[in-house]
Amino acid sequence: MEKFTTLAASMVAIPTENIDTDQIIPARFLKVTDKNGLGDNLFFDWRYNTDGSPKEDFVLNAQQGKKAGVLVAGDNFGCGSSREHAPWAIMGYGFQAVISTSFADIFRNNSLKLGLLPIIVDKDTHLQLMSLVEEEPDTQITIDLENQTVQLPDGRKVKFPIDNFSKTCILNGVDQLGYLQSHASAVEAYEAGHPDRVNTLAT
Amino acid sequence: MSNNGQPKTLFEKIWDEHIVVEEPGNPSAIYIDLHLIHEVTSPQAFTGLREKGLKVRRPDKTVATMDHGIPTTPPDIPITDMMVLNQINRLEQNCRDFGVPLHGLDSPNRGIVHVIGPELGLTQPGMTIVCGDSHTSTHGAFGTLAFGIGTSEVEHVLATQCLLQVKPKTYAVRVEGVLPKGVSAKDIILNLISRIGIGGGTGYVLEYTGSAIQGLSMEERMTVCNMSIEGGARAGMIAPDDTTFEYIATRPHAPQGADWESAVEKWRSLPTDEGATFDREITIDANSLEPMITYGTNPGMGMGITGVIPDPMSVKDVSERQTLDKALNYMDLQPGQSLLGHNVDVVFIGSCTNSRISDLRLAASLLKGQKVADNLRVMVVPGSQQVKNQAEDEGLDKIFKEAGAEWREAGCSMCIAMNGDQLQPGQYAVSTSNRNFEGRQGKGGRTFLASPLTATATAITGKIADVRTML
């Protein structure tokens, strides 16, 4: 995982609510065995015509989409399938943060483990961000993870929530697996005190 | 009741018993009793283990199968999709290298991962179960804490048998009364999701209670818990009872002899204590339910089958209105329209929601001596090899085939449409699966989610039908 401390970047907005992970990356692109190249297929069916040509009215195909670092999306982003291919594709495209008014649980968990920041803001801030992008597509915001703030162009800083553990891991670029491994003796003690429920190897 | 006398919910009892590490400010490390894996969300996790030089800590608590991408055509037809073949080969290799038991393509126990866990008796009350698949909530029907995880988490569990989780909140869903004729478990869950919305359960574990839930069979309970995730809840649970124990008793992995007695005694202590409180509650009157159908592009956009499609203009919230408008546009449906009599191209009976033997028996009971409507494709896809064998023993396959339906091999099939079983652009399907997202069942395809009864009634009439008129 790469460190994330601050990010100053422009945004793209997809205001649709309940964007499910099937839209983020359709199932037919899940036949891979690695994480590479998924960004090319991000929002594929919204992004390309049947003949493979880009849909001109889809925001990722506009000039602003190609250089944005932050995706602003409608409420309950990332619902549906647990596929981690969704955050892999979002990061593969070049986004480092997604801003919404809420996220689906599994998508948020997956993102935090990868260092893709899922930022929850209140509805008014969300609307403000949407209209900023609409009025001036090059508008930049600054995300400061240490202080948990998003700074808008007018200087206003909006706090966002994140658990301290995920925050520390992302600030330092540390995989959460290391924490679990560091507690190997606690796992052994747990196993010693709790009989196995099933044995999948038994025939 | 717990030691200190504080009444606890079913969820809290299981959660508390599985905490390995709990430190202030950090998510809890909880122990995982069973880890199910499949070919699509596991390859990158095994790559991670190899890169870090790690082993699978407990292969004896891990089990693999192939379901998502595999074809449902007869087994003698070779697999031509090289990417699917590659995933199958990779899973076989990974299971060999790491010592994980695999129910592969030629196993009599293979099938959809959430069908085979209970079938083999691996799913038992009080356990924690995870899988790189959001419908892992299915196993909650047994009074287990079961939820879907991402591939990073799959790697964590493979390496440590533990998972880092922030404790979710609890949500009681009380379903009281008796289900009217023609109304099934699928209609309960579609009704719930239409009420709380697709994000209504986010952050919560649902516990389904009440007389209507207690009256359900295990397979029906699995249908309810399966779609908890479609309401945003990662897990849904039902307290174990005699129905649960009876289902498990004869399964291959069920505890034997004295172990069985002590297991049942322990399982009987799991149900939520009297006086335990939930963070949220909702009550549904089972008597007033009718068969449900979805009209939009998420499972929350559902209504009773005699209802009419809502008008976006009547929705106050701007983004909600736009979302509904976009959905109706995709579905090519009009506000105020009834779906009864609407044209359908395909009927799909299958998926981890509704592909078990009782689902197939219901479908066959309606189809017996009938023909599926002209120009309609009807696919019946059993959830596992065992379900397929059982259905064939009972002659259900003959009923389906004689009616003009396709009787396929087991797998996820057109629920996720990765294997070539899919809708063509613009086609309408009535599907017993769990997701009606845009393109979910094939690019440009349009899905109406419904129960096996509603799907079968539609298969016979060729148009969306109210099964209650046919019973």
Instruction: Give pLDDT tens digits for B208-237.
Output: 999 999 999 999 999 999 999 999 999 999
pLDDT at A55: 96
- Total count of domains within chain A: 2
**d(C-alpha B71, C-alpha B420), whole Å:** 7
Domain of A198 in residue numbering reads as 175-203
Task: Indicate whether A113 belongs to any domain.
Answer: yes
Determine the average pLDDT of the residues in B36-56.
98
pLDDT at B2: 47
- Contact residues, chain A, for B41 at CB < 8 Å: 30, 82-84
Angle at which helix B385-393 crosses helix B396-403, to 10 degrees, equals 80
Domain CATH code at residue A56: 3.20.19.10
pLDDT at B315 over 50: yes
**d(C-alpha B177, C-alpha B180), whole Å:** 9
Sign (positive or negative) of CA dihedral B113, B115, B116, B122? positive
How is residue A42 written in tokens? 């991000």
**The 3-state secondary structure of A175-202, one letter per residue:** CCHHHHHCCHHHHHHHHHHCCCCCCCCC
Pick B1 or A198 by higher pLDDT: A198
pLDDT at B355 over 70: yes
Pair B189, B219: CB distance under 8 Å: no
Find residues 160-199 of chain A whose CB sits inside 8 Å of chain B. 163-165, 176-177, 179-181, 183-184, 186-187, 190-191, 194, 196-199
Instruction: Give pLDDT tens digits for B369-388.
Output: 999 999 999 999 999 999 99
pLDDT, averaged across chain B: 97
Q: What is the CA radius of gyration of chain A?
A: 19
pLDDT at B27 over 60: yes
C-alpha distances (whole Å) from B39 to each of A35, A116, B52, B85, B104 are: 15, 25, 21, 10, 10
Determine the average pLDDT of the residues in B429-442.
98
Task: Give me the total of CB pairs closer than 8 Å, taking one residue from chain A and one from chain B.
Answer: 212
Shared domain for A30 and A58, answered yes or no, is yes
Shared domain for A110 and A188, answered yes or no, is no
C-alpha A155, offset from chain centre: 25
pLDDT at B3 over 90: no
pLDDT at B4 over 80: no
Q: What's A54's DSSP letter?
A: B
Angstroms from B383 CA to nearest CA on chain A: 19
Burial A69-100 (b: 16+ CB within 10 A, else e): bbbbbbbbbbbbbbbbbbbbbbbbbebbbbbb
Shared domain for A160 and A89, answered yes or no, is yes
> Are A31 and B234 a contacting pair at CB < 8 A?
no
Shared domain for A76 and A163, answered yes or no, is yes
- Contact residues, chain A, for B149 at CB < 8 Å: 82, 106, 109
Q: Is B426 within 8 Å of chain A by CB? A: no
The full DSSP string for B370-418 is --PPTT-EEEE--SBHHHHHHHHHTTHHHHHHHHT-EE--SSSGGGTT-
The reported pTM is: 0.97
Shared domain for A129 and A109, answered yes or no, is yes
Runs of H (alpha helix) within chain A: 21-24, 44-47, 63-67, 85-93, 105-114, 123-135, 164-172, 177-181, 184-193
Instruction: Give pLDDT tens digits for B193-210.
Output: 999 999 999 999 999 999
Task: Indicate whether A139 belongs to any domain.
Answer: yes
Reduce the DSSP state of residue A115 to 3 states and report it. coil
**d(C-alpha B56, C-alpha B160), whole Å:** 8
Determine the average pLDDT of the residues in B277-297.
98
User: Residues in chain A with pLDDT < 50?
Assistant: none
Pair B24, B66: CB distance under 8 Å: no
Instruction: Give pLDDT tens digits for B70-127.
Output: 999 999 999 999 999 999 999 999 999 999 999 999 999 999 999 999 999 999 999 9
Pair B310, B302: CB distance under 8 Å: no
- Contact residues, chain B, for A92 at CB < 8 Å: none
Shared domain for A120 and A31, answered yes or no, is yes
Q: Is A15 within 8 Å of chain B by CB? A: yes
Shared domain for A28 and A122, answered yes or no, is yes
Q: Which of A18, A33, A102 sits opposite B90 (nearest CB)?
A: A33
pLDDT at B1: 47
Pair B152, A85: CB distance under 8 Å: no
Cα angle for residues B200, B205, B209 (degrees, 5° grid): 95
Task: Indicate whether A57 belongs to any domain.
Answer: yes
Shared domain for A196 and A165, answered yes or no, is no
Q: Is A80 within 8 Å of chain B by CB? A: yes
Amino acid type, B447: T
Shared domain for A24 and A10, answered yes or no, is yes
> Are B232 and A16 a contacting pair at CB < 8 A?
no
Shared domain for A117 and A200, answered yes or no, is no
- Contact residues, chain B, for A34 at CB < 8 Å: 43-44, 47
**ipTM above threshold 0.90:** yes
Task: Indicate whether A1 belongs to any domain.
Answer: no
**d(C-alpha A161, C-alpha A145), whole Å:** 10
Q: Which of B41, B202, B437 sits opposite A22 (nearest CB)?
A: B437
**d(C-alpha B13, C-alpha B144), whole Å:** 10
> Are A190 and B61 a contacting pair at CB < 8 A?
no
> Are B134 and A82 a contacting pair at CB < 8 A?
yes
Give the percent of chain B with pLDDT over 70: 99
Instruction: Give pLDDT tens digits for B232-284.
Output: 999 999 999 999 999 999 999 999 999 999 999 999 999 999 999 999 999 99
Angstroms from A198 CA to nearest CA on chain B: 6
Shared domain for A116 and A160, answered yes or no, is yes
Q: What's B283's DSSP letter?
A: E
Sign (positive or negative) of CA dihedral B431, B434, B440, B441? negative
Shared domain for A103 and A194, answered yes or no, is no
**d(C-alpha B326, C-alpha B320), whole Å:** 10
Task: Indicate whether A89 belongs to any domain.
Answer: yes
Task: Indicate whether A48 belongs to any domain.
Answer: yes
**d(C-alpha B354, C-alpha B251), whole Å:** 20
Task: Indicate whether A97 belongs to any domain.
Answer: yes
Task: Indicate whether A32 belongs to any domain.
Answer: yes
Determine the average pLDDT of the residues in B149-168.
98
**d(C-alpha B154, C-alpha B131), whole Å:** 7
